[in-house]
Structure 1
Amino acid sequence: MRQRWLRLRETFWFVPAVLGVVALLVAQALVRLDRALLDRGVVIGDSLLYHVGASGSRDILGAIGGSMLGVAATSFSITISVLATTSSTYGPRLVRNFMADRGNQVVLGIFGATFLYSLTVLRSIRSLDADGDTFVPDIAVNVAVLLAVVDVGVLVYFIHHIAQSVQVGTLSARVRQELRDAVDLLHPDDPPTGLADIAEATLPPRRATVRATRAGVVLGIDDAAAVALATRHDLTLVLRCRPGDHVLDGDPVVDIHGGAETSDVVATVRELVDLGDDRTPRQDILFAVEQLTEIAVRALSTGTNDPYTARNAFDDLSSELARLASRPTPPAVRTFDGRPRLVTTHVRVTECVDHVLDAVRLYAMSSPLVVRAGIRAAERIGTATTSPDVASRVSMHLARLAETCERDMTDPSGRADCIAAAAEADKRIRHRTHAVGSYS
């Protein structure tokens, strides 16, 4: 349920829809307040409100509503244009960041809410009712004017925000923050209690296998709810997939061990695995790594030829992967009362290292600047980790990079610099690793 709520909040229409409903409710409430004050003979002085007649109020509300609808349409067109440009330049997967951007959602929501508010207040104005009196909701009309003033500031903010959001530094920083959040969520510096190594866990016999009911990508798994369910029914749940995996209709996703097989339990377990059409970095570290890597690879294409963007992307990757490499890998088994309840599979640091450094070796040989950034990333990861496996894998990639530079890099001075940098980085990694635990 929590995963679905988070996905709903990231949809482009959710915040505008909420603000639109709020605008309708506020408009109705202020109109009722105006009518109640009029019925009681309460008159608010000119020092507080600007009073106009029925015709003037209609003109004001019509102008505000019409202009805000036009501004909202223009803002939406600008957003679509930015989405198209970003998709073609930096990759289609970054479009999700614009759709989930809270600033864009709030701006379009405010413009739409102002239009709905003005329209609702406009329909309440009466030039002549059955008693021969007019009704002009002065408070509601003045609030509409105040909203129009606020909308001018929102428009200025939107122009600044949309111009800033297409800068590659902003895009890279946003993806880097998503990677940081995923690392903190899945690989906390202080792992929670109730974890064990899978080698120490004795699993009961398998009772059932929960299968996917549709094809899609595993977006996330509600670990807390899974542990609670397994504890309540004395089960052990073994996940056959992890966030980011693509499954087909009928593929196994969870094995149920122990307890008694019931259709209710199977249906509940199936709901714990959130399936969607597109990957998200919330519980998928590798997806955030792939996004930053894609920015670098696209920047190195012949049509773009922007090695500085690629260098910045690899620097951003190195900062977060170094944090990931320094964190302890969470055990695969979550326990409760000493019993194994949930067996999961985590993304290994070596997978992320392979993805990043292979991209450097395959795509960056024409740019010594980017190769040195990749070597710098490898050194940061290798010196930050306390795992001999990770350090050994980084050293292997540095050796491959040196061999590829020797064979494929055409710039003689750049080739010599990169080979020397790779050798020096490997030396520092081995020195650091021998200081905390040897490997060969």
Structure 2
Amino acid sequence: MKARLGAWLERLGDQFWLRPAFIVAACMAAAEGGIWMEHARSFMDGDDAANPWGYGGGAEGARALLSAVASSSIGVAGTVFSITVAALSLASGQMGPRLLRNFVRDGRNQLALGIFVGTFAYAILVLRTVRTEQEGAFVPHAAVTGAIVLAVACVATLVWFVHHVAMSINVEKVVEAVHRDLVEAVERATLDAPDLMRVEFEQAATVTVSGSEYLQAVDPTSLADWAASKGCRVRLRVRPGDYVPRGLPIAEIHPSQDGARSVLERALTFGSQPTALQALEYTVRQLSEVAVRALSPGINDPSTAGSVLERFGDALCRLAPRFLPTGVAERDGRIVLLYPVTDYEGLTDAMFHAIRQNGSGSAFVLIRMLDVLAKVAQVERATDRLWEIRRSVRRGWIATAILAVTILLVALSVVPVAFGFFGAALLLVLFRAVPTREAYDAIDWPILVMLAALIPYQETHHQHEDEDGKKLWGAHRAR
């Protein structure tokens, strides 16, 4: 239940309209409150208009003032929305579409839009009650004064919002914001003491659920309680952040139990996109995508990739005194539930693999990665984690050495450029500096097929050239 509630609150945070709607409702309530206060004052003081509360003008002035506030606030709201869309487009192009969620969830953007739209709603509600002498004079002075206060607040909000947007699209600010999310995720997903030793269950009957899309949250407590009450053992096959197609077996239960499917559907929460609620690697992938985008030929900003690597190093240093869960739940001394979790190897691979692959041609990035890993090794004390760090360091040194030797051989014209870098790519795969799967995924197969298809054309073209040359030579000899 707690996991499902957390996922529901996470989805609420993605709703851009939610905070502005609350602000508009508050402004409308304030408008009605100001109008009620004026009615109450008129009832108590009769028709005596002396000493009004705040605004002291007449009905015509109040109408003009409220009309100006309403028209200007809704115009500025459109400007704020346009600025927000432009910032989102820029962030999506330079730092990756996954970061759009961070901008949409930014409460300050929602606050600014809510203030302007709320001021418009406030002014319209107050304007409808203003009456001249011919209509039975009524001017809600306190409510008109509130419109003046909101107008001043809109001016201040506009200046602050422009500054905020200018700062929010700064890549260093974006990296720092995602790094804070990563630090919170590390604190939330790790333990103060070692978890239970993981064991493996034998193969058992599989269970599917009707839900699909991304698995956002798992409630291991309810699953473990149910397994203990039924005297069975459950092993989940998926973890938060995985995409689950409909019909995929997601759990094994031994012995099989009636009603297992309904229990799993209550314990698992699916959504249209992954979240950082229980998926530690989700925030890691966000930061990694910023670095990969920065290393693309269109941007070519290795300094940003270096900044991301420094944040990854800080996260690993914060992780050093803590423990990762093993995905084991027990009841009454008996292990009843196993579920997949992120281990240290998977975490370091998610942090460095994509950057190492895309930055293999940049000595700056590889050297910075080695420096970050060396700092982490000085903080970390766990033997198994140090082995993983050494593995990453070894891959970094191998990639750096292969790159340096290849550049030297090409510069000295010892080998052609194409053969040199093709051989370097093969060596990176052979020495496991780049995983085989990543190398396979990096191959642009359509281009490769197109080049292969051009080989027969090239041979035919050379044959025709030879035949034409022979004919020309024969004609020349004949003359």
Per the normalisation by structure 1, the TM-score is 0.82
| CA positional deviation for 1:93 | 0.7
Alignment of 1:46-85 (within 5 A): 46=51, 48-85=53-90
SS of the residue corresponding to residue 295 of structure 1 reads: helix
SS of the residue corresponding to residue 16 of structure 2 reads: coil
Structure 1 window deviating more from structure 2 (382-391 vs 70-79): it is 382-391
Q: 1:59 to 1:374 in 2, by over 3 A?
A: same
Q: 1:334 to 1:83 in 2, by over 3 A?
A: same
Amino acid at match of 2:36: R
SS of the residue corresponding to residue 218 of structure 1 reads: strand
Structure 1 window deviating more from structure 2 (220-229 vs 373-382): it is 220-229
CA distance in 1, matches of 2:391, 2:139: 78
**Alpha-carbon displacement from aligned partner over 1:273-314 (angstroms, at most 9, x marks no partner):** 221222222321112111211111211122111111111111
SS of the residue corresponding to residue 250 of structure 2 reads: strand
CA distance in 2, matches of 1:231, 1:119: 61
Does 2:177 align with 1:174? yes
Structure 1 window deviating more from structure 2 (154-163 vs 287-296): it is 287-296
CA distance in 2, matches of 1:224, 1:294: 33
Amino acid at match of 2:309: F
Q: 1:338 to 1:299 in 2, by over 3 A?
A: same
Q: 1:123 to 1:337 in 2, by over 3 A?
A: farther
CA distance in 2, matches of 1:65, 1:303: 44
**Alpha-carbon displacement from aligned partner over 1:134-186 (angstroms, at most 9, x marks no partner):** 22211111111111111111111111111111111110011111111111111
CA distance in 2, matches of 1:324, 1:48: 59
**Alpha-carbon displacement from aligned partner over 1:15-47 (angstroms, at most 9, x marks no partner):** 111112222222222222221221222768648
CA distance in 2, matches of 1:102, 1:235: 45
Structure 1 window deviating more from structure 2 (9-18 vs 79-88): it is 9-18
Q: 1:47 to 1:369 in 2, by over 3 A?
A: farther
Amino acid at match of 2:150: L
Amino acid at match of 1:6: E
Picking from 22, 25, 50, the partner of 1:18 is 22
Q: 1:361 to 1:3 in 2, by over 3 A?
A: closer
CA distance in 2, matches of 1:54, 1:363: 68
Amino acid at match of 1:286: E
Q: 1:202 to 1:395 in 2, by over 3 A?
A: closer
Report the counterpart of residue 147 of structure 1 in structure 2. Answer: 150
Report the counterpart of residue 400 of structure 1 in structure 2. Answer: 395
Structure 1 window deviating more from structure 2 (284-293 vs 225-234): it is 225-234
CA distance in 2, matches of 1:341, 1:144: 62
CA distance in 1, matches of 2:282, 2:379: 22
Q: 1:225 to 1:71 in 2, by over 3 A?
A: farther
Picking from 284, 299, 313, the partner of 1:318 is 313
| CA positional deviation for 1:91 | 0.8
Picking from 273, 282, 285, the partner of 2:277 is 282
**Percent identity of paired positions between Structure 1 and Structure 2:** 30
Alignment of 1:16-415 (within 5 A): 16-41=20-45, 46=51, 48-127=53-132, 133-190=136-193, 196-199=196-199, 209-214=207-212, 216-224=213-221, 226=223, 237-255=234-252, 261-262=258-259, 266-267=261-262, 269-340=264-335, 342-409=337-404
| CA positional deviation for 1:70 | 0.8
Structure 1 window deviating more from structure 2 (92-101 vs 216-225): it is 216-225
CA distance in 2, matches of 1:284, 1:350: 15
How many residue pairs end up in the alignment? 402
Root mean square deviation of aligned Cα: 2.8
Unpaired segments of 5 or more residues in structure 2? Answer: 409-479
Per the normalisation by structure 2, the TM-score is 0.76
8 A contact 2:53–2:142 mirrored in 1: no
| CA positional deviation for 1:341 | 5.5
SS of the residue corresponding to residue 192 of structure 2 reads: coil
Structure 1 window deviating more from structure 2 (221-230 vs 177-186): it is 221-230
**Alpha-carbon displacement from aligned partner over 1:43-78 (angstroms, at most 9, x marks no partner):** 686485122222221111111111111111101101
Unpaired segments of 5 or more residues in structure 1? Answer: 413-440
8 A contact 1:212–1:253 mirrored in 2: no
CA distance in 2, matches of 1:232, 1:124: 65
Q: 1:116 to 1:268 in 2, by over 3 A?
A: farther
SS of the residue corresponding to residue 215 of structure 2 reads: strand
Report the counterpart of residue 7 of structure 2 in structure 1. Answer: 3
Look at both structures and tell me which one has the larger radius of gyration over its CA atoms: 2
CA distance in 1, matches of 2:206, 2:291: 44
8 A contact 2:196–2:328 mirrored in 1: yes
CA distance in 2, matches of 1:117, 1:234: 61
| CA positional deviation for 1:386 | 3.6
Amino acid at match of 1:185: R
8 A contact 1:9–1:15 mirrored in 2: no
